[in-house]
Structure 1
Amino acid sequence: MINMIRSKAAVILVSGLFLSGCASTKVNDQNGPYDPLESMNRAVFNFNETVYDNLFDPAVRQYKRIMPDPLELMVGNFFSNLNEVVVITNSVLQLNYESALASSARLLVNTTFGVFGLIDIASDISAVSDVNLNKRNEDFGQTLGRYGVGSGPYIVLPLLGPSSVRDTFGMAVDSFFMDPVTQGVTGVFLNHVSYINSPALRLPVATARTFNNRAEFLEQDKTLEEAALDKYEFIRDAYTQRRESLVNNSSEDK
């Protein structure tokens, strides 16, 4: 087990060093976000929009229709609580121990007093006190950015949406090593517990999280559809600016 973990850690470090060489291109230049693959990206973007509009969104609307708002909120809280594992791990990798401690306290409070994260007690505590247990946003793409790895070209991923070379690699690392839903710490440290790693458990949980995430974005997407002259360009610019802000810790993302 120790050797397996060490070998996986070595893969991350070597791959990160390689990525720093091939993705050192700056995010923005005087003409805007770095998007040399725009033609391909727009084709993938249009494909994603077609899939969302004709297949995925109708199912998500049915999900929202039958799901009471309080229950939908609890589902969102539950998955947000699981994400604290990713936030804590990347905070430690960034040597941001304040964020790691706050997110650990948030995970502990919401898992225990919040009934496995269904109720966001930590945010309520923050609202009525000086203790900051609000939700942080940290991932491996941000971790690489904090160590000077450039974002590289902007990329639109099939079904997954906006990303970059750095953030795509970061997403893969988070999903494989850290995320409790897709693989993460349960796959590395609890691989002897067969029912946790069973596809019969993971697939429904991952599907539920996907539906919940899309349901939260549905109204924003409708507003964006009506307001943006060029939806692709608006999303690209908003994504690159937000990621730069998160890497620099210049704003708090709740």
Structure 2
Amino acid sequence: MVTSIRNLCLLLGVVSLTSACTAMRAPSDSDPLEGLNRTVDGFNQVVDKAVVKPLAQGYDKVTPPEIKTVIGNFFSNLDDVSVAFNNLLQGKPKAAGSDITRFALNTTIGIVGIADVATELGFQKHDEDFGQTLGVWGVGSGPYLVLPLLGPSTLRDAPGRFVDAPLDPLYHYDDVRVRNSLFVVHAVNTRARLLPATDLVERVALDQYAFVRDAYLRRRASLIRDGAPDPAERVYEDFDDEPSSSVAPQAFPPFRAALVQPEPVDQQADAVIPADLQQSERARSGLGLLN
């Protein structure tokens, strides 16, 4: 019994020391505003736990999966307009044409988007926004930002919301009450879909703020490259081309594999943080509360 208590005290001490070190560390290069960001993040989490998450849990419990799929399809269809516009700006007319075709098919045959017939016909769903467009044009991301209620962003991505918002057909719907109600439904439906992922983050992440920040920045960089490998992570490929007169060719593989493996946190981030959580304009209303 005494040993168990001693071990528990030691564990609590290690956790406290780790938390203190985290709080005292210098801000990273990508997050010079970490102190302010953590304050906003704390506010967002309070609102999420008090309002948004309970609504999402109740909605998830009473809404049939088929209805949630229909709602998701409807808003995904509206999103294709903005996606097509940004693909054009990024110099990808073929992808933009596919997006426009998706919107036409799902709006007509799919009955205002409630059925995703375009995907069934082979037209791939893309994920583009004006923040990514600026990145493709060579604009740096700038400091990481946590926006009140909206969540993860950057100095580059945040203004992009003002470009993408008017491209949403729902933005121009005249009935304000209906329009705002649909925005709320979209936010709650998306939050409900992310419940398993965010619950997992809460269980496995020692520092949820840093976990979501790193996952967001990594995901955004990947989207700008359209999923292409990061050149900075290919620095060890030259091992294969170097002559080896005194060392057997197979001497390096285990060491080389360890060098090029991504960090465990990044692997977890890509696995459990869906794209919607990485601050796309489609998930803007309330999803920032999840970080």
TM-score, normalised on structure 2? 0.67
Which letter does structure 2 place at the counterpart of 1:74?
Answer: V
Counterpart in the other structure of 2:151: 161
Counterpart in the other structure of 2:217: 240
Distance 2:169 2:34 in 1: 34
Matched, 1:109 2:105: yes
Between Structure 1 and Structure 2, how many residues are aligned? 204
Counterpart in the other structure of 2:142: 152
Distance 1:116 1:205 in 2: 14
Which letter does structure 2 place at the counterpart of 1:144?
Answer: L
**1:58-207 to 2 correspondence within 5 Å?**
58-126=54-122, 133-175=123-165, 177-181=166-170, 183=171, 186=172, 196-207=173-184
Distance 1:216 1:157 in 2: 22
**1:202-221 to 2 correspondence within 5 Å?**
202-221=179-198
Distance 2:138 2:203 in 1: 37
TM-score, normalised on structure 1? 0.76
The equivalent position to 1:225 in structure 2, one of 190, 197, 202, is 202
The structure-2 alpha-carbon separation of the partners of 1:104 and 1:33, relative to structure 1 and needing over 3 Å to count, comes to farther
Given that residues 87 and 138 in structure 1 are in contact (C-alpha distance below 8 angstroms), is that contact kept between their aligned partners in structure 2? yes
Distance 1:180 1:166 in 2: 24
Distance 1:245 1:209 in 2: 25
Distance 1:106 1:158 in 2: 33
Given that residues 33 and 237 in structure 1 are in contact (C-alpha distance below 8 angstroms), is that contact kept between their aligned partners in structure 2? no
Distance 1:93 1:76 in 2: 26
Distance 1:237 1:50 in 2: 21
Distance 2:203 2:105 in 1: 40
Q: How far 1:198 moved relative to its partner? A: 2.5
* Alignment gaps of 5+ in structure 1: 1-30, 127-132, 187-195
Deviations 1:132-191 (A, max 9, x none): x1110010101111111111100001111100011100112211x21223x3xx3xxxxx
Q: How far 1:33 moved relative to its partner? A: 5.7
Q: Secondary structure at the match of 2:153?
A: strand
Counterpart in the other structure of 1:35: 31
Distance 1:244 1:112 in 2: 35
Q: Secondary structure at the match of 1:163?
A: strand
Q: How far 1:201 moved relative to its partner? A: 2.1
Distance 2:185 2:210 in 1: 29
Q: Identical aligned pairs, as a percentage? A: 41
Q: Secondary structure at the match of 1:156?
A: strand
Q: How far 1:57 moved relative to its partner? A: 0.7
Q: How far 1:248 moved relative to its partner? A: 1.5
- Max Rg structure: 2
Q: Secondary structure at the match of 1:155?
A: strand
Distance 1:250 1:62 in 2: 35
